[in-house]
Homo-oligomer: A and B are copies of this chain.
Amino acid sequence: MTRQAKSDNSKAGLRQFILPDAELTLWSSWLSHAETTVLQTLLSAELAWRQEQIRIYGKTVNIPRQQVWMGEPHCSYQYSGVCFEPQPWHPAIKKLCSKLSGELNQPFNCVLLNLYANGQNHMGWHADNEPELGPTPVIASVSIGASRRFDLQHRQHGHQLQLQLDNGSLLVMAGTCQQYWQHRLPKQSRVLTPRLNLTFRYIAPQQ
């Protein structure tokens, strides 16, 4: 039979998902329990979390989560017609960014932080396909706090993958994932505690 590749689970906690038009890697305990505890306390308290408003069908609504956009000064970010300028690096996040870049051998220079207070907070189907990220962005998603389900769906074939993103995990989405797949964080009424999600990206400086 046709087999171009084999799954490799030799490194404990590393799981690869090679899908049609997408490559995902999930580290179950990329951060230790001690690290996540410190980060959760620090980031919850020290960042200027905002519940942004967006316009949907001509109506202004609060998004169902809190956000911070952070990174290098040139990394502005367009979301539902609103342009956000990045907050300067928090030292703990800058350190996390350097660790990620080093381990993945991949540059990152900005991060979207989402704070989901509980299972009612969520994010709908979307892709991280802003033009400034390029056609095949590598998105590194660090999870801190409550475990949440994470869904991916192929835009054309409808195939779905559902992952559990646990405290301390790192999910890397690469290849053409953002072109061909959408993802979401669904509501989970039973989840009563908060989850922080940091999605690191790279935006090339304009020439």
Q: Which A residues form the contact surface with B (CB < 8 A)?
A: 1-9, 11, 14-23, 25, 28, 104-106, 138, 157-164, 172, 174-175
Contact = CB atoms under 8 A, between A and B. Distances in A.
A97 B8 CA distance: 31
B20 A16 contact: yes
Contacts of A11: 2
Contacts of A23: 3, 6-7
B20 A17 contact: yes
B105 A175 contact: no
A90 B158 CA distance: 34
A2 B25 contact: yes
A68 to B, nearest CB: 25
Contacts of A2: 11, 14, 16, 25
Interface centre among A16, A22, A105, A138 (most CB of B within 10 A): A16
Nearest to A158: B164
Given A18-B6, A18-B17, A18-B18, A1 B161 contact: no
10 contacts: A3-B25, A4-B8, A5-B16, A5-B18, A7-B18, A7-B175, A15-B159, A17-B18, A159-B163, A159-B164
A7 B20 contact: yes
Nearest to A4: B8
B4 A9 contact: no
A180 B157 CA distance: 25
A164 B174 contact: no
A96 to B, nearest CB: 16
B1 A9 contact: no
Given A1-B25, A7-B20, A8-B4, A15 B175 contact: no
